């Protein structure tokens, strides 16, 4: 976490250090036993890995198929350059990169249809197919098993001077410039709104969709970016070796990339470069110095397994932790959460942008209306013919014994579940069949019964994710814009944080919050998208008496200017807060009325007391 | 040149390959279904089974002993792998499980390379199944017919274990909801260990039974692993019957395409997988909602 704040304060620090490191490498590395060719290979792997790290380390998509794009970019560039179709090496590399990105788009459309292990398996199969294609059907262009020899090195005409890139450190200069550009672009992406959303998708894809982001669109974006990086690196491999090897397309290439990234540290951008340096130097060292011959790969395999078991964050993660341990734990380390008195959310003036869409002409009818909705799972009818409507500015309580169908009902209102029959009308518009992301953009959001947070992000970042959707829409490709430049974002995040009483906890990772604070952040995520109708699913569940009192006063606060529907088991709270209460029982509406009416209702008493009292 | 006997013989090849893929895939899919772990070392286990059988055959000269020793050895490897590494990964993300099994697979391959070198090894078929048989209208290598029979028996055995025993009942319940099985007071831990052993054994058994048809190399598991993934994607993850159906379909696709042009067989297999993903993303016999 320290690292990220450091970046925030001194925006060009990392870029500067990278440039310094790349310039220093030819002077520092040779005495350590690195041959220029080893360093050059590591730089190509490192560039290849930047894209993969954006895909895996940041977005959480583990692909074993990156060789497909590495090979595509490499062979397209090598073909164009050796056949003299394109004379400029740079242009050839760019075209190769574009070809790889386009291939990435098509492959992504297929592979991203599934997630998790399916995604990993599909990428493996796709990469293998590319190898088959290169090897035989396309061998007239790719040279089949022979690859493409004679890839030219770039040359430049600068101020009348002709400079042709040679081998060794001359080639290093060219590769280092490419790597530097690659890192600068990647850092921009990481610090952009898109970068923040990619991390959110890694942490909790379904919540990212629920707060209004097009998860599929952003995953596809990350996939294409990764493919573009791979394509450029593939082209550079051909230039570096003056030969485009068919091995670029093999499963081994994808596997080596994954291993190097994990060894170096994923989610760091620089991990792949360090991993490649470790990999290549260990290979040389074990083979030459220790005379281990073929056993070098076994040694690397064992190192890899041990790192995955015990140091999942790789070498960079380990160094980061070690530095943190020695240098500044006391600086950032706040005392344990329980002892921090959390200020109760008392600032009544802090309101998040009065509910959304003030431009819409005031709508006189109900905000939300369910018309005869029924949901059945096979033979089980969870909800039966429910009619329900809530007026503007109302706070409605929904209660019912366990198994009454409250959660199913809520899921249908937010379009998480489609009803079997019936319609849901929001602001006079039929939203039945829309997806949860679209509904969020209309101004209807929910907070979850079980916290759905972005656990490895800070409190502030969590709220940013939710607020971004409202500011930018469900999909926007501003991946070169700094996140601080999103208009209105800062104020919206500030006011949401102070409304839920977490302003002082802004930089704390969610994992370190107390339970009650997490519950308030859960509500904060829903609030940050400025909904006109907010559904709260058991906001008081599992709270201590003090936390409960705080949250009840929070609910009183946020109801100003909003319409709220609250489901909870806490009768006292519901009867204190709600203007009207709907009672669900066995999947149907049992009663509806003011708290006083509900208290007197004999049907309700019977439902709760099981009829014995009657 | 496509002739009628050629076509029939390719269909048989497809059946033999399909049966093999079905057996390996069912091992993979049972492990995933029960433990929730995608085992990327599965291809290496297939390879290891072949080598274990090779060693046993060299020592005893008996093919039957080679098959028994190869499968048992892999069962032990599977149980060890589960006890020493995998069980600490149940609570970690899928990605970590994939990474660690991938690494173990590489270690297994490199260990075998170290011990046996990169040159290929061969195991001859048992003497009673050597040569070719007449099927009336064509001749066909006897052992390939035997392979289909042996694997059919193995699949039947696996089916009986899964659908007719207490262990199988627990495994199938675990595929549906392993947390619930745990809550019912069943020792899931022990079941997981046994399932991993059975899954590894299926791969190892396939490896040794297949050994007389191919030559053994340390890298032979890679190609099989990729094909196994396609089988599972086509059939549906976690579905035993899906693995068998997917295996048979994939075997025939590979064989019949190579009759026309061998270089397109892998591409065609992938094309069919893509088609399945488009039309039925959960796989032919998979259930929706499982990822």
pLDDT along chain B (291 residues), means of 10: 80 91 93 88 96 94 92 96 93 91 95 89 85 78 88 92 86 77 81 92 94 91 91 87 94 91 85 88 72 42
Q: Is B243 in the A-facing interface, judged by CB distances under 8 Å? A: no
- What residues in A contact B277, CB-CB < 8 Å? 110, 113-114, 122
Instruction: State whether residue A413 sits within 8 Å of chain B by CB.
Output: no
* Interchain CB contact of A113 with B (< 8 Å): yes
Tell me, yes or no, if A297 comes closer than 8 A to chain B by beta carbon.
yes
Return the residue in B41, B106, B113, B279 with the most chain A beta carbons within 10 A, the one to mutate for interface testing: B106
pLDDT band per the 50, 70, 90 thresholds, residue A364: low
Q: Residue A294's closest chain B neighbor by CA?
A: B114
Instruction: Report chain A residues whose CB lies below 8 A from the CB of B263.
Output: 132, 135-137
For residue B281, list chain A residues with Cβ-Cβ distance below 8 A.
113-114
Contact between B172 and B162 under an 8 Å Cβ cutoff? The reply is yes
**B266: contact with A, CB 8 A cutoff:** yes
Minimal CA separation from B139 to chain A, in Å: 31
A335 pLDDT more than 90: no
Determine the distance in angstroms separating the CA of B234 from the nearest CA of chain A, rounded to an integer. Answer: 11
Looking at residue A333, its pLDDT comes to: 41
**B51 CB within 8 Å of a chain A CB:** no
Question: Which of A55, A59, A108, A305 to probe the B interface (max B CBs under 10 A)?
Answer: A305
At A201-238, the pLDDT tens digits run 999 999 999 999 999 999 999 999 999 999 999 999 99
pLDDT tens for residues A365-377?
A: 788 999 999 998 8
Which tokens hold the place of B90? 């149940």
Beta-carbon separation of A116 and B94 below 8 A: yes
Going along A120-160, which residue ranges are E strands?
148-149, 155-158
Q: Say whether A134 sits in a helix, a strand or coil.
A: helix
- A335 three-state secondary structure: coil
B100 vs A contacts (CB less than 8 Å): 305, 308-309
Look at strands A368-377 and A380-390 and give their pairing: antiparallel
**Cβ-defined contact of A298 to B107 (cutoff 8 Å):** yes
Say what the pLDDT of residue A336 is: 41
Our CA-based measurement puts residue A283 at a distance from the nearest CA of chain B, in whole angstroms, of 14
Q: In the beta sheet, which residues pair with residue A458?
A: A509
Q: Does any CB of chain A come closer than 8 Å to the CB of residue B260?
A: no
Contact A122 B222 (CB under 8 A): no
Q: Which residues from B are below 8 Å from A136, CB to CB? A: 262-264
Neighbour count for residue B136 (Cβ, 10 Å): 6
By the CB < 8 Å criterion, does A118 face chain B?
Answer: yes
Taking the Cβ of residue A109 and every Cβ of chain B, the question of whether any pair is shorter than 8 Å is answered with: no
Residues A244-287 have pLDDT tens digits of 999 999 989 999 999 999 999 999 999 999 999 999 988 888 88
Q: For chain A, positions 488-517, list CB contacts with chain B under 8 A.
A: none
Question: Does B38 lie at the interface with A, CB-CB under 8 angstroms?
Answer: yes
Q: Give the closest residue to A199 by CA, choosing from A419, A457, A580.
A: A457
- What pLDDT shows up at residue A355? 46
Of B98, B223, B274, the CB nearest to A120: B98
Residue A473 CA to residue A488 CA, distance in Å, equals 14
Residues of A in contact with B32 (CB under 8 A): 117
User: Confidence band (pLDDT; 50, 70, 90) for A351?
Assistant: very low
pLDDT digits (tens, 9 = 90+) for A154-178: 888 777 778 888 888 999 999 999 9
| Position A328 pLDDT exceeds 70 | no
Nearest-by-Cβ selection for B291 from A56, A64, A116: A116
Q: Name the average pLDDT for chain A.
A: 87
Between A and B, how many CB-CB pairs are < 8 A?
114
**What gap in Å lies between CA A614 and CA A79, rounded to an integer?**
87
- The helix (H) or strand (E) run that includes residue A569 is none
In the structure, what pLDDT confidence band is assigned to residue A144 with cuts at 50, 70 and 90?
confident
A377 touches chain B (CB under 8 A): no
Q: Collect all residues of chain A within an 8 Å Cβ-Cβ radius of residue B111.
A: 298
Which percentage of chain A shows pLDDT scores above 70?
91
Percent pLDDT > 90 in chain A is 49
CB atoms within 10 A of CB A24: 10
Cβ-defined contact of A309 to B281 (cutoff 8 Å)? no
Residue of higher predicted confidence among A273 and A599: A273
With an 8 Å Cβ cutoff, are A262 and B113 in contact? no
| Per-residue confidence band for A83, with pLDDT thresholds at 50, 70 and 90 | very high
**Inter-chain contact A297–B277, Cβ cutoff 8 Å?**
no
Whether the pLDDT of residue A141 is over 60: the answer is yes
CA distance A567 to A398: 5
Residue-wise pLDDT tens digits, A536-562: 999 888 888 888 888 888 888 888 878
Return the bridge partners of A390, or none: A368
Give A92-125 pLDDT, tens digit per residue: 999 999 999 999 999 999 899 888 888 988 898 8
**Nearest residue of B to residue A311, measured between CA atoms:** B96
Q: Give the residue with greater pLDDT, A330 vs B275.
A: B275
CA distance A71 to A74: 5
Partner-chain residue, chosen from A124, A137, A302, that has the shortest CB–CB distance to B226:
A124
The answer, yes or no, to whether residue A514 has pLDDT greater than 50, is: yes
Check if A163 contacts B (Cβ < 8 Å).
no
* Closest by Cβ to A251, choosing from B98, B104, B226: B226
User: Which positions in chain B touch A115 (Cβ < 8 Å)?
Assistant: 291
Q: Does B268 touch chain A (CB under 8 A)?
A: no
Token output for A76? 């397209």
Residue A363 pLDDT class (50, 70, 90 cuts): low
Establish if A290 touches chain B: CB-CB under 8 angstroms: no
Ordered DSSP codes for chain B: ---HHHHHHHHHHHHHHHHHHHHHHHHHHHHHHHH----TTHHHHHHHHHHHHHHHHHHH--HHHHHHHHHHHHHHHHHHHHHHTGGGGTTS-HHHHHHHHHHHHHHHHHHHHHHH-SS-B--PPPGGG-SEEE-SS-EEEHHHHHHHHHHHHHHHHHHHHHHHSHHHHHHHHHHHHHHHHHHTT--HHHHHHHHHHHHHHHHHHHHHHHTTTS-B-TTHHHHHHHHHHHHHHHH-TT-HHHHHHHHHHHHHHHHHHHHH-GGGHHHHHHHHHHHHHHH-TT-TTPPTT--
Residue A105 pLDDT:
97
Owner of token pair 């140091």: A311
- Summarize the confidence of residues A115-144 as an average pLDDT: 86
CB contact under 8 Å between B233 and A133, yes or no, is no
Select from B183, B175, B283 the least CA-distant residue to B229.
Answer: B283
Segment A437-463, tens digit of pLDDT: 999 999 999 999 889 999 999 999 999
User: Which residues 66-95 of B are in CB contact (within 8 Å) with A?
Assistant: 85, 88, 94-95
A309 to chain B, any CB pair closer than 8 A? The answer is yes
List of chain A residues whose C-beta atoms are within 8 Å of the C-beta of residue B273: 122, 125
Residue A37 near residue A170, CB atoms below 8 Å: no
Q: A9 pLDDT exceeds 80?
A: no
Q: Measured between CA atoms, how close is B101 to chain A, in angstroms? A: 8
Contacts of B291 in chain A (CB under 8 A): 114-118
> Quick check: A382 pLDDT over 70?
yes
Give yes or no for A287 touching B (CB within 8 A). Answer: no
What residue in A sits closest to B93 (Cα-Cα)?
A: A116
Contact between chains at B273 and A262 (C-beta distance less than 8 A): no
User: What is residue B1's predicted lDDT score, i.e. its pLDDT?
Assistant: 62
- Give contacts of A 208-267 with B, CB under 8 A: 251, 255, 258-259, 262
Give yes or no for residue A8 having a pLDDT over 70.
no
């Amino acid at each position: 976490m320290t690292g990220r704040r450091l970046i925030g304060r001194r925006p060009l620090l990392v870029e500067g250090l990278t440039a310094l490191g790349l310039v220093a490498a030819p002077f520092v590395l040779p005495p350590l036993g690195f041959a220029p060719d080893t360093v050059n290979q590591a730089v190509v792997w490192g560039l290849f890995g930047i894209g993969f790290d954006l895909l895996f380390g940041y977005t959480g998509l583990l692909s074993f198929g990156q060789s497909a794009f590495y090979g595509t970019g490499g062979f397209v560039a090598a073909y164009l350059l050796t056949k003299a179709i394109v004379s400029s090496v740079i242009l050839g590399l760019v075209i190769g990169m574009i070809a790889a990105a386009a291939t990435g788009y098509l492959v992504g459309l297929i592979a991203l249809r599934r997630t998790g292990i399916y995604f990993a398996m599909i990428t493996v199969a796709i990469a293998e197919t590319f190898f088959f294609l290169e090897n035989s059907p396309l061998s007239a262009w790719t040279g089949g098993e022979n690859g493409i020899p004679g890839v030219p090195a770039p040359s430049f005409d600068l101020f009348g001077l002709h400079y042709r890139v040679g081998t060794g450190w001359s080639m290093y200069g060219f590769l280092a410039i490419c790597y530097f550009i690659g890192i600068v672009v990647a850092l921009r992406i990481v610090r952009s709104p898109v970068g923040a959303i990619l991390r959110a998708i890694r942490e909790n894809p379904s919540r990212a969709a629920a707060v209004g982001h097009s998860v599929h669109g952003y995953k596809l974006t990350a996939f294409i970016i990764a493919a573009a990086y791979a394509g450029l690196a593939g082209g550079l491999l051909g230039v570096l070796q003056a030969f485009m090897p068919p091995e670029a397309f093999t499963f081994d290439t994808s596997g080596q990339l994954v291993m190097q990234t994990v060894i170096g540290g994923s989610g760091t951008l620089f991990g792949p470069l360090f991993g490649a340096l470790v990999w290549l130097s260990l290979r040389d060292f074990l083979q030459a110095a220790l005379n281990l011959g073929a056993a070098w790969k076994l040694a690397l395999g064992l190192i890899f397994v041990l790192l995955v078991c015990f140091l999942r964050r790789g070498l960079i993660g380990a160094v980061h932790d070690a530095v943190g341990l020695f240098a500044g734990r006391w600086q950032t380390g706040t005392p344990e959460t329980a002892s921090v008195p959390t200020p109760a959310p008392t600032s009544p003036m802090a309101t998040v942008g009065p509910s959304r869409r003030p431009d819409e002409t005031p709508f006189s009818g109900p905000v939300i209306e369910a018309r005869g909705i029924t949901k059945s799972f096979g033979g089980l009818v969870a909800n039966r013919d429910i009619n329900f409507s809530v007026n503007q500015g109302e706070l409605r309580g929904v209660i019912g014994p366990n198994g009454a169908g409250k959660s199913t009902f809520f899921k249908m209102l937010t379009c998480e579940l489609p009803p079997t029959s019936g319609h849901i009308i929001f602001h006079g518009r039929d939203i039945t069949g829309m997806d949860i992301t679209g509904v969020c953009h209309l101004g209807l959001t929910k907070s979850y019964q079980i916290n759905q947070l972005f656990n490895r992000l800070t409190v502030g970042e969590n709220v940013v994710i939710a607020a971004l959707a409202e500011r930018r829409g469900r999909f926007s490709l501003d991946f070169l814009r700094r996140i601080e430049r999103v208009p209105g974002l800062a104020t919206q995040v500030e006011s949401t944080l102070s409304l839920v009483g977490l302003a002082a906890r802004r930089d704390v990772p969610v994992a370190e919050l107390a339970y009650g604070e997490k519950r308030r952040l859960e509500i904060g995520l829903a609030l940050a998208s400025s909904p006109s109708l907010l559904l709260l699913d058991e906001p008081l569940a599992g709270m201590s008496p003090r936390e409960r009192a705080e949250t009840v006063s929070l609910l009183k606060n946020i109801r100003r200017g909003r319409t709220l529907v609250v489901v909870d088991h806490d009768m006292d709270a519901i009867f204190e807060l709600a203007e009207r209460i709907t009672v669900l029982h066995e999947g149907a509406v049992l009663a509806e009325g003011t708290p006083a009416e509900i208290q007197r209702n004999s049907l309700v008493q019977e439902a709760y007391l099981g009829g014995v009292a009657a | 040149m496509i002739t009628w006997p050629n076509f029939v013989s390719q269909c048989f090849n497809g059946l033999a390959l399909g049966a093999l893929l079905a057996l390996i895939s069912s091992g993979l899919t049972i492990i995933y279904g029960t433990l929730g772990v995608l085992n990327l070392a599965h291809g290496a286990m297939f390879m290891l089974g072949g080598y274990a059988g090779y060693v046993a055959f060299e020592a005893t000269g008996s093919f039957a002993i080679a098959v028994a020793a190869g499968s048992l050895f892999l069962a032990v490897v599977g149980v060890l792998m589960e006890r020493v590494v995998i069980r600490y990964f149940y609570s970690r993300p899928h990605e970590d499980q994939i990474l660690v099994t991938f690494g173990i697979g590489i270690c297994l391959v490199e260990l075998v390379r170290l011990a046996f070198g990169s040159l290929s090894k061969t195991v001859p078929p048992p003497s009673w199944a050597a040569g070719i048989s007449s099927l009336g209208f064509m001749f066909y290598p006897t052992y390939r017919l035997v392979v289909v029979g042996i694997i059919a028996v193995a699949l039947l055995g696996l089916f009986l274990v899964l659908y007719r025993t207490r262990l199988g009942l627990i495994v199938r319940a675990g595929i549906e909801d392993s947390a619930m099985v745990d809550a019912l007071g069943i020792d899931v831990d022990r079941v997981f260990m046994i399932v991993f052993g059975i899954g590894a054994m299926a791969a190892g058994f396939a490896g040794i039974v297949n050994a007389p048809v191919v030559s053994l190399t340390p890298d032979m598991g890679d190609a099989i692993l990729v094909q196994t993934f396609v089988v599972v994607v086509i059939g549906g993850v976690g579905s035993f019957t899906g693995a068998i159906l997917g295996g048979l379909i994939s075997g025939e696709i590979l064989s019949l395409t190579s009759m026309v042009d061998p270089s397109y067989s892998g591409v065609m297999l992938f094309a069919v997988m893509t088609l399945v993903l488009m039309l039925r993303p959960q796989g032919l016999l998979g259930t929706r909602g499982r990822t």
